[in-house]
Amino acid sequence: MDDGGQGRTNGARGIAARLAAQVSGLLFPPQCAGCGREVADPGTVCGRCWSHLRFIDRPYCAVMGTPFAHDLGENFLSAEAIADPPPFRRARAAVIHDGIPRRMIVGLKYHDQTNLAPWMAKWMVRAGGEMIADCDVIVPVPLHPLRFWSRRFNQAAELARAVARISEKPLEPEALIRVKRTRQQVGLLATERQRNVSGAFRVPQGEEIKVRGRNILLVDDVYTTGATVKAATRALMRARAASVDVLTFSRVLPDM
């Protein structure tokens, strides 16, 4: 086929794709991720729900990213960071895990609403811009193969893929694997969470080159006690990563 014929074929495909999108939009109009109202674009929230979102902005702990009520200085650390220093360098989250963000996580994680991931990732990029600029590679927190088989996708990988696409940073989804089938963390106490994920992660043989000497951005959906990302960070550091930063969509505050 000559270039003109190829161009006409591509043009026809483009028109067909736009028509299909328009028909889909008429039959299944996008709904607000928070309340279900009709919105202009899939994965977005309406104005009313937007006003209830609690974004995490400065001032916050330089290490944990925990928000402060008052500005205590650029490098001021939270009691958590001082009493129990984490293995990662910094942690940041886009929003507080309450209300709408919690529903978005549940929709992505348990109801196959993967269309939410690109929109959630935009908020994450805003929150983690400094860490993204510093990282060499993005790595998602992995699922155990059996859990991946039952869910069919990994929500952390969906978020990491979208963050990598927006930031134009390399994504290495195979650089870290989960070798221990852990219990669900929901409902466990902090100490139980730590025991549950202890030794759960490993950098597989042959993948060390993707980690060694590199600044890693570890991506997950929600930061609760930090047990999961701490265990994953230790596995990456054992593989001689230069540093690990943690970026999540939402954060459960210690007093929630």
Contacts of 131 (CB under 8 A, 6+ apart): 90, 92, 217, 245, 247
**pLDDT of 14 higher than 80:** no
Distance (Å, whole) CA 139 – CA 169? 11
Distance (Å, whole) CA 31 – CA 70? 36
**pLDDT of 243 higher than 60:** yes
* Residue pLDDT, tens place only, 105-152: 998 988 888 889 999 999 999 999 999 999 999 999 999 888 877 778
Distance (Å, whole) CA 68 – CA 146? 40
Strand partners, 244: 216
* Residue scoring higher pLDDT (158 or 11): 158
Give percent of the chain with pLDDT exceeding 70. 85
Contacts of 180 (CB under 8 A, 6+ apart): 144, 197, 199, 200, 201
Give percent of the chain with pLDDT exceeding 90. 57
| Mean pLDDT in residue range 80-101 | 95
**pLDDT of 10 higher than 70:** no
pLDDT at 221: 97
Distance (Å, whole) CA 46 – CA 36? 9
The domain ranges of the chain are 54-251
Distance (Å, whole) CA 123 – CA 33? 14
pLDDT at 148: 79
**pLDDT band, very low/low/confident/very high, at 6 (cuts 50, 70, 90):** low
**CB-based contact 171:164 (threshold 8 Å):** yes
| Distances in whole angstroms, Cα of residue 73 to Cα of each of 41, 60, 77, 96, 246 | 39, 9, 9, 22, 22
**pLDDT of 166 higher than 80:** yes
Distance (Å, whole) CA 3 – CA 16? 20
**Where do runs of H (alpha helix) occur along the chain?**
3-27, 47-50, 79-83, 100-110, 117-127, 129-134, 145-151, 155-167, 190-197, 227-238
- Range in 15-24, 122-131, 226-235 with the lowest mean pLDDT: 15-24
Residue 91 φ then ψ, to 5°: -130, 140
The CATH number that domain 54-251 falls under is: 3.40.50.2020
pTM for this model (two decimals): 0.84
pLDDT at 36: 80
| Distances in whole angstroms, Cα of residue 129 to Cα of each of 25, 243, 247 | 33, 16, 10
pLDDT at 27: 44
pLDDT at 158: 96
* Residue 124 token pair: 């994450």
Rg of the chain in Å (alpha carbons): 20
